[in-house]
Structures are given as structure tokens and as C-alpha cells.
Amino acid sequence: MSISRKKLHILVTLGPTWEFIDPIRFITNRATGILGYFIAQEGLRRGHRVTCVAGPSALCPLPGARWMNVVGAEEMRRAVQVIFPKVDALVMSAAVSDYRVKKPFLSKLKRRGRSFPLFLEENPDILDGVSRGKGGRVLVGFALETENLIKSALKKLKEKKLDLIIANLVSGDKDPFGNRKVDVHFLWKDGRQRFYVDISKSQLAKVLLDAVEDLALTRISER
Ligand code: CTP
């Protein structure tokens, strides 16, 4: 097998996470998981081994992939930590809740006829947790921002020790959630940047996989 055709093991996280308030209600976000699903599908199509860690969504497990369903950010973190040492690349497309309810109610919260505070505490950063033991693995993250897109994305690229970050703006008519076309910036650690306008998520999955394969190939030739 030529070096350029090396088959990789790729871990893809996708979807939102749920952080429970009580056994019935939770805090979440608008992520659908569709981009991560397309990335995993494209990975399989290219002959790579794919493991998915999926937050709650309407998506069914992808045939051919190892598929793990998780609910909260902490559960996703634990799953990623176990699988990460075995993979060549992590594509962290999940929209992880940054906060969880400090003390979720054990039974259904009843109407109280008054307002009351809900205390939130920070969830750990999953990428940050694995980046320390990164070794030669390829790390790809995403940045969804409502302002200062490039500046915030570059900060995350550096702080989370990523090889590549895909930056996406949510503002006015720019609504990237679900299966629709998006404008995205690819920002690499080595300073390269590329802007894709009005690209479908299935096409985005293809260019992202090209980038992951290139990065993995560079790692192999550096060894
Ligand atoms: N991420 C993560 N663990 C978290 C939160 C986010 O690994 N607890 C990952 C996401 O999967 C994404 C990247 O970090 O690939 C950026 O996520 P984002 O929510 O945009 O950024 P945060 O680091 O949470 O920063 P902020 O919400 O303050 O913008």
C-alpha cells in the first residue's frame, strides 16, 4: 500500500450534548450532528476505520462505523478519552455544552409560582483534555461564533493545540444549523487559510477529509 493511501482510524464526535435540569428537562443547543455524520460517512467511503461518539440527535447509527451514543458532556469526554489513544485523527464536530446544572433536581420540578436561580458549573474541555497526550495524532476542531470569527477561531486553534479549525459564523442570515449550505473558513496551525463560500455539508465533509488525510500523511513522513 502506498503511503498516500494509508488507512486511518478516525474518531468523529457529533451532535449536541444534554445537561439535565431534572429527569425531564435539559439544557442543549441547536446542533443536529449532520456534518459529523457526513464526515464519518465520507471517511468510511474512503476506506478508513471510523468511530463515532454521538450526542443525542435524530440520526441513526451509521452502518460500518463503530457508534457510541452518549448524552452529557462528561460522558462524551470519558468516551473520547478511552478511544483517543487508538486513533490517528480526532474530528471534534460535537457542540459540547460548556455548562451543566450544578445540582440537577432528582424528581420533576414543579411550578413554584416564582422565579428561582439555576446554578451552572463548567464542563471540562474535551479537546483540551486530549491535546496534552496528542502525540502524532491529527486534531481538528470547530468554532461557531456570533462575532470576531477569525480572531476567536485562531485563539481556539492555538489554545486547544489543533492542527486545523473550521470557523463558522452565526449571525443574521448566516444560520449554519442542519443540512444546508454554509460559508466556512479553514485555518491551519501552519498559518494557511482557506475560505469556502456556499458549500454543502456533504462537500464540506470531502474537503475536510482531504485535509485530515494530508495532515496525517505529513505526520507519517515526519516520523
Ligand atoms: N469543545 C470541547 N469541549 C468542550 C467545549 C467545546 O472539546 N467542553 C470543542 C468543540 O467540539 C469544538 C471546539 O471545542 O470543536 C470549540 O468549541 P466552541 O463551543 O466553539 O468553543 P469553546 O471552547 O467552548 O469556547 P466558547 O464557547 O467560549 O466560544
CATH number, domain of 57, equals 3.40.50.10300
Is residue 106 in a domain? no
Closest ligand 1 atom to residue 143 Cα is 20
* pLDDT at site 151: 96
Is residue 212 in a domain? yes
pLDDT-based confidence at residue 5 (cuts at 50, 70, 90): low
pLDDT at 25 over 90: yes
Is residue 85 in a domain? yes
Is residue 114 in a domain? no
Maximum Cα–Cα distance for the chain, whole Å? 68
pLDDT at 1 over 50: no
Mean pLDDT of 38-53: 98
Split into its structural domains, the chain has a count of 1
By the 8 A CB rule, do 7 and 25 touch? no
pLDDT at 214 over 90: yes
Q: What does the chain look like in DSSP terms, one character per residue? A: --GGG---EEEEEESB--EESSSS-EE--S--SHHHHHHHHHHHHTT-EEEEEE-S-SPPPPTTSEEEE--SHHHHHHHHHHHGGG-SEEEE--B--SEEESS--SSPPPP-SS-----EEEPPPHHHHHHTT-TT-EEEEEEEESS-HHHHHHHHHHHTT-SEEEEEE-BTTB---SSS-EEEEEEETTS-EEEEEEE-HHHHHHHHHHHHHHHHHHHHHH-
pLDDT at 204 over 70: yes
Tens of pLDDT along 163-178?
999 999 887 777 788 7
Closest ligand 1 atom to residue 98 Cα is 8
* pLDDT at site 180: 83
* pLDDT at site 3: 46
Q: Which residue puts its alpha carbon closest to atom 20 of ligand 1?
A: 143
Average pLDDT of the chain?
A: 93
Mean pLDDT of 18-36: 96
Is residue 113 in a domain? no
**CA count, 13 A, side-chain hemisphere, 100:** 19
pLDDT at 2 over 60: no
Mean pLDDT of 83-105: 97
Mean pLDDT of 78-84: 98
Q: Which residue puts its alpha carbon closest to atom 23 of ligand 1?
A: 156
- Whole-prediction pTM value? 0.95
Measured in angstroms, how far is the CA atom of residue 172 from the centroid of ligand 1?
22
142 lines ligand 1 (CB under 6 A): yes
Is residue 104 in a domain? no
Mean pLDDT of 54-69: 97
94 lines ligand 1 (CB under 6 A): yes
Measured in angstroms, how far is the CA atom of residue 127 from the centroid of ligand 1?
8
Domain that residue 60 falls in? 3-98+121-222
Is residue 115 in a domain? no
Q: Is 29 a residue of the active site?
A: yes
pLDDT at 218 over 60: yes
Mean pLDDT of 146-162: 95
- Which of 19-33, 91-105, 170-184, 186-200 is predicted with the least confidence, judged by mean pLDDT? 170-184
High-pLDDT (> 70) share of the chain, %? 95
* pLDDT at site 223: 60
* pLDDT at site 130: 96
